[in-house]
Amino acid sequence: MQAAVDLAIVGAGPGGLYAAVQALERGLSVQMFDKKTVVGIPVKCGEYFPVRKEMEYLLPSAGEYMHVFDVPQEAVNNFCKTIRVISPKGREFEFDFEAYVLDRTRLEQGIAKRVVELGGTIELGKSVDLFNHNGDLLVGKNRTDAVRAKVVIAADGFPSKVAMSAGIPTEEYMTPNNVAINYEYLMSELEIDQTVTEMYFGMEFAPGGYGWVIPKGHRTANVGIGIRTPYSGRNDGRSYLEFFLRQCSLTKAKLDAGKPGPMIADVLPVDGPVSRTYSNHAMVVGDAAGMVMPTNGGGISTAMITGEIAGQTAVDHVQKGVPLSDYEKRWKEVMGREMYVSTKLRRYADPFMRNDLIFHLIMRVLGTKGIKDVITCKVPRGLGVLIS
């Protein structure tokens, strides 16, 4: 007979871990699974994390969840004061925006420790799927080696195998235009301003996306690019990244002398949330649900918040019979407007990203204030009629 738990969570990233803490603190039994052998390793992320006051501006309806931005200082590598956006023709737009650059491994391992202290179980090095057996949900490598669960949370990243198995519609999302492929180095020996995060736009190095330099302190930075294949002339992300480092006129002077570590690559959803984020007995959070802000690529904070909401909804479902459809209602109240605006703005920008000169001119028209609005999921002045 299979072991039974109230809640099974697949994926021990920020979304899954925050869901587990919420559920455990409210009395549910929780078992987590992750295909990684060590929590938080490898990191496939820029690790950029806005401070609380910036998120209060970006997500004004997320008040009760703002505590997630009070991260422990031992999980912070660096503090950035501004964002500098560089157009394809080299025009710079810089504005105040404070953010931490995290040691994401340390952050996730700290939360995992809390999960275990609360009585949760984390099973590592195990890739699992979801099965339905006589009305029971089973989570495991197969039906016989599985755990019965009353509720399942899919936090297994993008694309989510567990969400698909749970009947949560994800197939229509899987188009090349909706997915960015990211390539990144952790670079050392860089002579850069460690207080400024930079975003670079240009078809030569980041077709359909952008390049970034996110300082981590002590002459290091996460340096990477995101591309979308319908915009690229070749399917070779490493060559785009090497061009960004060594040949691009916008970055060569500051990046060419840097020493790259191992390259990481990942895929990121960039078309807003999937069309439905729940089924009768399952919910999907974080990247697995498309909870990434399309105009800035931020996903850590949205994973944390949707994880918390899913964990609380799981408790209400098990203890009070609340339907899991409440999860979608709750997260939309917190960030639905911002997700909608960010997705619309990215779609409107798409036709112009193929031409560097036109995109440069649009950025000049928007100006610093308009560009900040786009990055922080606000509607720039004069574009309200397009978004409504």
Here the tokens at position 270 are 């960039």
User: Does the pLDDT value for residue 207 go beyond 90?
Assistant: yes
Q: In 3D, which of 43, 18, 61 has the Cα closest to residue 101?
A: 43
User: Does the pLDDT value for residue 132 go beyond 90?
Assistant: no
User: Does the pLDDT value for residue 1 go beyond 60?
Assistant: no
Q: What is the pLDDT of residues 285-340, one digit of tens each?
A: 999 999 999 999 999 999 999 999 999 999 999 999 999 999 999 999 999 999 99
- Report the predicted TM-score, pTM, of the whole model to 2 decimal places: 0.95
Arithmetic mean of pLDDT, 13-20: 98
Confidence of residue 65 (pLDDT cuts 50, 70, 90): very high
Confidence of residue 3 (pLDDT cuts 50, 70, 90): confident
Here the tokens at position 312 are 């609380």
Report the SS3 class of residue 175: coil
User: Does the pLDDT value for residue 130 go beyond 90?
Assistant: yes
CA distance 196 to 185: 18
C-beta atoms surrounding 286 within 10 Å:
32
Q: In 3D, which of 273, 24, 101 has the Cα closest to residue 16?
A: 24
CA dihedral 212, 217, 218, 224 (to 10 degrees): -20
Arithmetic mean of pLDDT, 157-179: 92
Q: Does the N-terminal peptide bond of residue 159 adopt cis geometry, omega within 30 degrees of 0?
A: yes
Domains of the chain: 3-41+104-172+271-344 (3.50.50.60), 73-103+176-268+351-387 (3.30.9.10)
Confidence of residue 240 (pLDDT cuts 50, 70, 90): very high
Arithmetic mean of pLDDT, 235-257: 93
Confidence of residue 234 (pLDDT cuts 50, 70, 90): confident
Q: Which positions ≥6 away from 273 have C-beta within 8 Å?
A: 289, 290, 291, 339
Confidence of residue 165 (pLDDT cuts 50, 70, 90): very high
Q: What is the pLDDT of residues 176-189, one digit of tens each?
A: 999 999 999 999 99
User: Does the pLDDT value for residue 144 go beyond 90?
Assistant: no
Give the model's pLDDT for residue 186: 96
User: Are the beta carbons of 129 and 141 closer than 8 angstroms?
Assistant: yes
Give the model's pLDDT for residue 322: 98
CA distance 145 to 140: 6
- Residue by residue, DSSP assigns 350-372 as GGGTT-HHHHHHHHHHHHHHHHH
Give the model's pLDDT for residue 309: 98
Confidence of residue 190 (pLDDT cuts 50, 70, 90): very high
Give the model's pLDDT for residue 82: 98
Give the model's pLDDT for residue 257: 92
User: Does the pLDDT value for residue 199 go beyond 70?
Assistant: yes
Arithmetic mean of pLDDT, 50-76: 95
Arithmetic mean of pLDDT, 274-286: 96
Give the model's pLDDT for residue 382: 75
Give the model's pLDDT for residue 388: 64
Give the model's pLDDT for residue 278: 97
